């Protein structure tokens, strides 16, 4: 595939990229000059000339601000520069750029912030290390209240580039320009919404530094998992494409399992069965055709199904009920060494004893068989298994939380939301960007679980299967467009799959 994966760099990794580039011979001030010039170029291209205020902070983000101010002034724009603190306290390249600014430098103040057409935010970037407070917070709020177009350098001030969380308060940018590669905070909410339109510019850092940095976070795209995506083999048969089983809820709660089963079939699982109690059979039978029905009366009968090695990927949880039966079935599926997708009630049912679940996932038997498990919580379900990971000072750090959760549980963690994150216990992570909000509809999560299950059944490794499912789910919703209901997702998949195949070959 010609497409390469888009790596997302943490603040530390970006610092490393800068360091390696400087070590290789480029000077820090050249990087800063390139950074500032690239922002000015975008401003000149995207915005109409107007009264411009540049807010400069005490670090290199402020240094970039001085470069932007100079470049815009050279283009004839009326530019005012304000600085937090005094020039003599600036260091290194930032001091150098401040010296190259030949205009006045005013002290940073709230007054007059409403008088500009454009505000360039060079207060804090990667160096933000504490919340915005006091006068600074007032200034950022006044900027937000003004009618000016706001341009953030690297990240809007107050936003963590690592988590997308806000520290105290944050500039609400119309446009953000970052350098070399995007950062997770540009994709994770609320960060994504606070960045406005995002631009990534080349400031002379070579992509080769990435080999040395070894970052583990990527944009979710076929470039990450495409090579492992299952395509039916010409000589294959349905049995070689796996057999998915979805555990149904009781008679009044059968729909979720049908949505998941339909998705598993559509994504290419050779066979799909719904496993249900006898009283639910008529409800399923009235609606299912290609999907088979397996009823079980007792735990022993359920165990019989588990003993069949052909039934290789199991999905349990959607509308299953938070009951002892659900808990016992989850444990039985794990003990049988099945690949499994645990969703909804299969997660909630372990809220009082998550360790029991983690022990079952991480048992030596399962490890020896390399059988993988995918947990697919939304934030609420995540909090039931990992309450401590939701209690960050600045809110729930989804990426970090999911990483720790994957490591702790031994499962691939698929954390749902507008910025769905998938993390492998080995630390690899992908973040989905721009999933249509139409997906926030009843049953759409059930479809997603079915997609993961169907890919596991076909032999795709769990991290890649979960990532691919999230991407396909979003793309199918995009193809369908407005008015989406969960039932529409699977029927929209063929168009997406067709395009994907063209891309993969």
Ligand X SMILES: Nc1ncnc2c1ncn2[C@@H]1O[C@H](COP(=O)(O)OP(=O)(O)O)[C@@H](O)[C@H]1O
Contact residues toward ligand NAX (CB under 6 A) are 18, 28, 31-32, 35, 57-64, 124-132, 136, 153-154, 179, 203
Least distance in Å: CB of 29 to ligand NAX?
A: 9
Could you tell me the smallest distance in angstroms from the CB atom of residue 416 to ligand X?
4
CB of 275 vs ligand X, minimal distance in Å: 19
State in angstroms the smallest separation of the CB of 257 from ligand X.
12
Is 500 a binder of K ion (CB under 5 A)? no
Q: Which two tokens stand for residue 455?
A: 């890919």
User: Could you please report the per-residue DSSP string of 340-392?
Assistant: EEE-THHHHTTTT-HHHHHHHHT-HHHHHHT--EEE---HHHHHHH-GGGG--
Nearer to ligand NAX, 32 or 497 (CB): 32
* Minimum CB distance to ligand NAX smaller for 19 or for 309: 19
Q: Which residues are annotated as a binding site for K(+)?
A: 61, 121, 157
Biggest CA–CA distance in the chain, Å, is 84
Tokens of 206: 């070579």
User: What residue 157 binds from ligand X, ligand NAX, K ion, none (CB within 5 to 8 A, per partner kind)?
Assistant: K ion
List binding-site positions for AMP: 416-420, 445
Distance CA 22, CA 31 (A): 9
Looking at the Cβ atoms of 90 and 405, the one nearer to ligand NAX is 90
SS3 256: helix
| Cα–Cα dist 168/138, whole Å | 11
Pairing verdict, β 243-247 and 175-179: unpaired
Q: Shortest gap between Cβ of 85 and ligand NAX (angstroms)? A: 9
Query: Binding partner of residue 121 among K ion, ligand X, ligand NAX, none, CB under 5 to 8 Å per kind?
Result: K ion
Q: Taking CB within 5 to 8 Å according to partner kind, which of ligand NAX, K ion, ligand X, none is near residue 440?
A: ligand X
* Partner interacting with residue 136 (select from ligand X, K ion, ligand NAX, none; CB below 5-8 Å by kind): ligand NAX
Does 157 sit near K ion (CB under 5 A)? yes
DSSP label of 351: T
Q: Please list, in sequence order, all residues whose beta carbon lies within 8 angstroms of the beta carbon of residue 33, skipping any fewer than 6 positions away.
A: 67, 97
Considering only the stretches 137-145, 150-158, 337-345, 409-417, report the one whose residues sit in contact with K ion under the rule CB under 5 A: 150-158
Burial of 11 (0-12, 13-18, 19+ CB in 10 A): buried
Q: Which residue has the tokens 């040395």?
A: 212
Under the binding rule (CB under 5 A), the answer on residue 170 touching K ion is no
Strand 339-342 versus strand 271-276 pairing type: unpaired
Q: Tell me, what DSSP letter sits at residue 438?
A: G
Handedness of CA 314, 317, 321, 326 (dihedral sign): positive
How many angstroms separate the CA atoms of 116 and 80, rounded? 9
Minimum separation from the CB atom of position 261 to K ion (A): 48
Q: Where are the beta strands (DSSP E) in 29-83?
A: 52-56, 79-83
Is the link from the previous residue into 103 a cis peptide, with omega within 30 of 0? no
Q: Does 140 bind K ion (CB under 5 A)?
A: no
DSSP state at residue 108? P
**Helix then strand then coil, % of the chain, to nearest 5:** 45, 15, 40
Return d(Cα 71, Cα 74) in angstroms, integer. Answer: 5
121 scored as a contact of K ion (CB under 5 A): yes
437 binds, among ligand X, K ion, ligand NAX, none (CB under 5 to 8 A by kind): ligand X
Look at strands 149-153 and 118-122 and give their pairing: parallel
CB atoms within 10 A of CB 237: 9
Contact segment (CB under 5 A) with K ion among 4-12, 154-162, 181-189, 348-356 equals 154-162
CB of 29 to K ion, least distance (A): 19
Which does residue 57 bind out of ligand X, ligand NAX, K ion, none, counting CB within 5 to 8 angstroms by kind?
A: ligand NAX
Residue closer to ligand X by CB (options 29, 378) is 378
Q: Which is nearer to ligand X, 372 or 446 (CB)?
A: 446
User: Taking a C-beta distance cutoff of 8 angstroms, is the pair 84, 62 a contact?
Assistant: yes
Residues in contact with ligand X by the rule CB under 6 A = 378, 416-418, 420, 435-437, 439-440, 442-446, 448, 473
Instruction: Choose among K ion, ligand NAX, ligand X, none what residue 444 binds, the Cβ cut-off being 5 to 8 Å by kind.
Output: ligand X
Decide whether 373 or 472 has the Cβ nearer to ligand X. Answer: 472
Query: Residue 177's CB: how many other CB atoms inside 10 A?
Result: 28
Residues in CB range of 15: below 8 A, 6 or more apart: 126
Helix (H) or strand (E) holding 130: none
Is residue 139 within the footprint of K ion (CB under 5 A)? no
CB of 112 to K ion, least distance (A): 20
Nearest distance in Å: CB 352, ligand NAX: 39
Of the residues 43, 153, 346, 375, which one makes contact with K ion according to CB under 5 A: 153
60 binds, among ligand X, ligand NAX, K ion, none (CB under 5 to 8 A by kind): ligand NAX
Q: How far is the CB of 168 from ligand NAX (least distance, A)?
A: 7
- Closest CA relative to residue 324, chosen from 346, 343, 305: 346
Report the interface residues with K ion, using CB under 5 A: 121, 125, 152-153, 157
């Amino acid at each position: 595939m010609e497409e390469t994966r888009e790596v997302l760099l943490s603040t530390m990794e970006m610092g490393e990229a800068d360091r390696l580039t400087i070590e290789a011979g480029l000077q820090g001030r050249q990087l800063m000059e390139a950074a500032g010039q690239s922002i000015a170029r975008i401003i000149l291209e995207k915005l109409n000339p107007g009264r411009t205020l540049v807010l400069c902070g005490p670090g290199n983000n402020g240094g970039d601000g001085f470069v932007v101010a100079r470049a815009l002034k050279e283009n004839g724009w009326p530019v005012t520069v304000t600085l937090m603190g005094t020039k003599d306290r600036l260091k290194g390249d930032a001091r150098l750029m401040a010296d190259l600014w030949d205009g006045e430098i005013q002290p940073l103040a709230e007054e007059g912030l409403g008088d500009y057409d454009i505000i360039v935010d060079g207060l804090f970037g990667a160096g933000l290390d504490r919340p915005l407070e006091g006068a600074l917070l007032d200034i950022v709020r006044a900027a937000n209240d003004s009618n000016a177009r706001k341009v953030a350098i690297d990240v809007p001030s107050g936003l963590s580039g690592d988590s997308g969380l806000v520290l105290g308060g944050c500039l609400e940018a119309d446009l953000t320009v970052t350098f070399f590669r995007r950062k997770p905070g540009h994709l994770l909410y609320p960060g994504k919404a606070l960045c406005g339109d995002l631009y990534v510019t080349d400031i002379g850092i070579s992509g080769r530094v990435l080999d040395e940095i070894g970052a583990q976070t990527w944009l979710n795209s076929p470039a990450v998992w495409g090579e492992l995506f299952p395509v039916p083999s010409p000589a294959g048969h349905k049995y070689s494409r796996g057999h998915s089983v979805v555990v149904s809820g009781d008679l009044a709660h059968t729909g979720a399992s049908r949505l998941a089963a339909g998705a598993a079939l559509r994504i290419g699982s050779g066979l799909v069965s719904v496993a249900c109690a006898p009283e639910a059979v008529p409800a399923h039978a009235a609606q299912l055709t290609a999907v088979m029905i397996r009823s079980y009366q007792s735990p022993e009968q359920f165990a019989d199904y588990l003993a069949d090695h052909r039934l290789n990927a199991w999905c349990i949880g959607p509308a299953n009920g938070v009951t002892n039966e659900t808990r016992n079935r989850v444990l039985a599926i794990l003990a049988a060494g099945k690949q499994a997708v645990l969703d909804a009630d299969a997660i909630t049912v372990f809220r009082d004893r998550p360790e029991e679940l983690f022990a079952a996932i991480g048992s030596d038997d399962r490890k020896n068989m390399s059988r993988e498990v995918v947990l697919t919580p939304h934030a609420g379900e995540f909090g039931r298994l990992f309450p401590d990971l939701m209690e960050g000072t600045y809110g729930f750090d989804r990426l970090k939380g999911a990483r720790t959760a994957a490591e702790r549980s031994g499962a691939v963690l698929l954390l749902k939301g507008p910025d769905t994150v998938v993390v492998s216990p080995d630390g690899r992570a992908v973040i989905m960007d721009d999933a249509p909000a139409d997906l926030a509809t009843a049953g759409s999560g059930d479809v997603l679980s079915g997609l993961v299950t169907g890919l596991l059944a076909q032999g795709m490794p769990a991290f890649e299967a979960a990532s691919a499912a999230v991407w396909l789910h979003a793309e199918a919703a995009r193809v369908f467009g407005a008015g989406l209901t969960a039932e529409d997702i699977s029927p929209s998949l063929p168009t997406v799959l067709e395009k994907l195949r063209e891309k993969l070959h």
